[in-house]
Amino acid sequence: MIFSRVVATFFAIGSVGVLALPSAPVEARADITDVLAVLDTLQSSTGGILPQIGRLLHAWNKSDR
């Protein structure tokens, strides 16, 4: 019984201690040109196949009925 009180007190003090710690500063990232370049490459490489997949699924749904 005393063990549970000691453990509960330990966790309560520990949680208050963690909340009191200062958080690390987050660096602002303003340059997103690399991400945009990757997205443009992805869009150009998938632009030809996605309409074909859509037509295939549409034809499969028609034949499934």
Buried b (16+ CB within 10 A) or exposed e, 7-20: eeeeeeeeeeeeee
Residue 42 pLDDT > 80: yes
- What's the one-letter identity of residue 5? R
pLDDT at 65 over 80: no
pTM > 0.75: yes or no: no
Domain boundaries, the chain: 35-65
